[in-house]
Amino acid sequence: MKVMVLPCRVVVVVFLFSFLVLLPRPCSTASIFIPEAASSPSAEPQVDLELATDYLQQYYHLQKEPAGRMKRSGPTFTSKVKDMQIFFGLNVTGELDSDTLDVMRSPRCGVPDVEEYSTLQGSRWNKNVISYRIGRYTRDLPRSTVDSLVESAFSVWARAGGLSFVKSQTSHADIMVEFVTREHGDLFPFDGPRGTLAHAFGPGLGFGGDTHFDDDELWTTGNRGFNLLVVAAHEFGHALGLKHSRNPESLMYPSYRASRPAHLLSREDETNIKALYNRAGGRPILFPRFGWTSHYNPWTSGSLFPRLLQNRCSPDLTFDAVSTLGDATFFFRGRYLWIKHNEQLDIKEGPISNFMPRIETNIDAAFWVPRRSTAYLIHESMFWTVKGSRMKGKPRSLSHFGFPAWVQDVDAAVHLVKTGRTLFFMHDIYWSYNENRRIMDFGYPKYISEGFPGVNATINAAVHKDGFLYFFVGPQVYKYDNTQKRVVGVEKTNSWLGC
């Protein structure tokens, strides 16, 4: 996979206003040299030596020599080859054998694998609502497709890290996304087809977070060319502060791999992003158990174990899903849950698994069908059916509702009792499902902006209450009158939890 290329070895780390800023420094022109003390490299064809030299200079900070001089410290070249072999789990010989050269020829991310870049691990945005803007688009895909893929790539990290990403139209967005070629203004030029696919800067001011894709590549939605979703998700990991992983199963592995599971993040990726952003929304507070016992209804009782309570009054609070279930409203965020009973002031909260032991994941969307007294909880391409306080059967595929095969997740869902329809929202489009006939309505999907004028952002969660639709968009909630077809009010998300 390709990521941000920090072409020369030098990165100047500057602390401004508590941000870690990465400023590239120009490099001298590379010269091709043959290490005198390295037995294997000197025996390789010149083209392989040039490839290896460029690769090691770019990704392992091999020192460049002044033009016209031959480097005589061969062991340094050999040691860099060994560093690269160690990183990729190859036989550590220090020689340019076929396996080593195969890796060096593989398309990849432009961010270095070792040394200076390791100082970036731990840098993070000091907020959990991050803005982005797409400046220049590729000609390989429709703009709407690029928008959807970029949004999906951010959502991969949003779910795992408790983050929200908001698309901005201003030039002051935290993360600027652009498709460019060759020299493009950041001193780290691209190299044409293959080679370096993309690069991204770590969190900070100026270039911080900016992500660039080489538009000399063929960007696609599948396995032909390079899958934009896969590469973008990798690059945004860097833009959030993560470094490369040596684990081939990790999304942060530097070499591009088109074939990946539907859930892009490995357990290692999830652990790393949580370690960086587990304070998002406020520092968690450790509370002891409150003494509830196992005979309490798991839907209404508190945790039976010590737990970390999240700051529900954070001004940046966001939800992944919101739904009424009976006489209560459920608010999902990551693997955390708040339950607010309509007739009570107190709010139950804790990990989802404390209330629903069979669910060990986050919930992306949820809706309640009152006439069936049934709730549907969606995670990626699967959903659980809950009747009363009991799970019914095993999780089923989202295709049950009649979605096309390419739909593997939804952002939000809400049921409208008056029409008997359930609306499913995904990126900038939505579907209408007829609960009576159990089929998807004809003519969908449609654009959200057309069906709900005034709602022009990705919907994180939705709920129908007291005759109004409420759309949760980042830390704000739009109160929508579906009869008048307009937004009639805007609230803070945390106000729904009594803040």
Q: Which residue has the tokens 């359930």?
A: 422
Q: Which residues of 8-26 are buried (b: 16+ CB within 10 A; e: fewer)?
A: bbebeeeeeeebbbbbbee
Please indicate if the annotation marks 161 as binding a ligand: no
Please indicate if the annotation marks 464 as binding a ligand: no
Please indicate if the annotation marks 366 as binding a ligand: yes
CB of 344 closer than 8 Å to CB of 356: no
Please indicate if the annotation marks 215 as binding a ligand: yes
CB of 16 closer than 8 Å to CB of 268: no
Please indicate if the annotation marks 109 as binding a ligand: yes
Fill in the amino acid letter for 13: V
Please indicate if the annotation marks 238 as binding a ligand: yes
Please indicate if the annotation marks 186 as binding a ligand: yes
Please indicate if the annotation marks 140 as binding a ligand: yes
Please indicate if the annotation marks 184 as binding a ligand: yes
Residue 166: what are its φ and ψ, rounded to 5°?
-115, 125
Please indicate if the annotation marks 427 as binding a ligand: no
Please indicate if the annotation marks 415 as binding a ligand: no
Picking from 177, 171, 203, the residue whose alpha carbon sits closest to that of residue 17 is 203
Please indicate if the annotation marks 54 as binding a ligand: no
Q: Annotated catalytic residue: which of 44, 178, 235, 435?
A: 235
Please indicate if the annotation marks 61 as binding a ligand: no
Q: Which residue has the tokens 């803005």?
A: 131
Active site residue 235: yes
Please indicate if the annotation marks 222 as binding a ligand: no
Question: Is the omega angle on the peptide bond into residue 24 within 30 degrees of 0, that is, cis?
Answer: no
CB of 138 closer than 8 Å to CB of 149: no
CB of 14 closer than 8 Å to CB of 52: no
Active-site residues, by number, are 235
Binding site membership for Ca(2+): which residues? 140, 174, 191-192, 208, 210, 214-215, 217, 320, 364, 366, 413
Binding site membership: which residues? 109, 140, 174, 184, 186, 191-192, 199, 208, 210, 212, 214-215, 217, 234, 238, 244, 252, 320, 364, 366, 413
Binding site membership for Zn(2+): which residues? 109, 184, 186, 199, 212, 234, 238, 244, 252
